Amino acid sequence: MCKVISVANQKGGVGKTVTCVNLGVGLAREGYKVLMIDADPQGSLTISLGCDEPDRLEYSLATAMINIIKDEDIDVTYGLIHHKEGVDILPGNIELSSLEITLTGVISRETILKSYVNKARELYDYIIIDCMPSLGMMTINALACADSVLIPVQAAYLPVKGLQQLIKTIGRVKKQLNPHLEIEGILITMVDNRTNYAKDIAQQVYDVYSSSINVFHIEIPLSVRAAEISASGSSLYVYDPKGKAAFAYSALIQEVISHAM
């Protein structure tokens, strides 16, 4: 059975894309068939997986969604990019920005991505969706089609307020569009263990949320090598296999796999 995980936080720069890359590739390394979907017009996931100019691609997530809106039959494998580390990618690019505007006037606008994903479920064990930094229509689509949401939170500012808004949105989507939606967990990222500040924030997130939401015990450490992977086109398992961030993501994957069982 396929599990669809959307990686979301309306704040940018919290580690969504880096988490997607290493979660998706890590699951593929465990032998699972993995599709990654780039639902951010910035195309960071697409770039991180080695496609330098996503805006030049003829076919992307936006094209697939437009075809669905036009009620055309779609081949879910069309336009996928295969990455050397064993994952398939449905790329995303700037066309998603205009698609967001188009979506406002479309029937079933919240479930267009779901039509794609439900077909793709037959071919994959995991589908990982990298969300854009907003709670707009693309992110609603990503929540409406997912089994769970993984929420990266950067341990560098007080994240509590933004998190409440996100959790409220997830609750609304669950009630109105996707009753099975669960929160996979809050993942604290970019933890600088040399500072007490990072530890305080991690503790605060844990205190406020862990009674109602899974907060992963695994924290992703701040790592210069992790910041370099988007330019390298590979995951941490290839770029810095012995590093502490690769180790942390491997541990996260074991938790995610055990949740799915």
Is residue 218 close enough to count as binding ligand ADP by CB under 6 A? no
In what side-by-side order are the strands of the sheet with 126-131? 81-82, 87-90, 34-39, 126-131, 3-7, 148-154, 182-189
For the CB of residue 115, give the shortest distance to ligand ADP in the complex, in Å. 25
Yes or no: say if 19 and 187 are a contact pair by the CB < 8 Å rule: yes
Contact flag: residue 16 with ligand ADP (CB under 6 A): yes
15-28 burial, b at 16+ Cβ within 10 Å, e below that, comes to bbbbbbbbbbbbbb
Binding mask 224-253 for ligand ADP (x = CB under 6 A): --xx--x--------------x--------
Amino acid letter, residue 15: G
Minimal CA–CA distance to 22: which of 259, 176, 260, 228? 228
**Member of 34, 112, 220, 253 binding ligand ADP (CB under 6 A):** 220
Residue 230 partner contact from Mg ion, ligand ADP, none using kind-dependent CB cut-offs of 5 to 8 Å: ligand ADP
Q: What angle do CA 22, 28, 32 make, to 5 degrees?
A: 135
Decide: is 15 part of the binding site for ligand ADP (CB under 6 A).
Answer: yes
| Bridge partner residues of 82 (DSSP) | 88
Residue 89 CB burial class (10 angstroms; 0-12, 13-18, ≥19): buried
Which of ligand ADP, Mg ion, none interacts with 226 (beta carbon under 5 to 8 A by kind)?
A: ligand ADP
Beta carbon nearer to Mg ion, 8 or 34: 8
Q: Does 149 bind ligand ADP (CB under 6 A)?
A: no
The least CB distance from residue 16 to ligand ADP, in Å, is 3
Residues that bind ligand ADP (CB under 6 A): 12-18, 44, 133, 189-190, 220, 222-223, 226-227, 230, 245
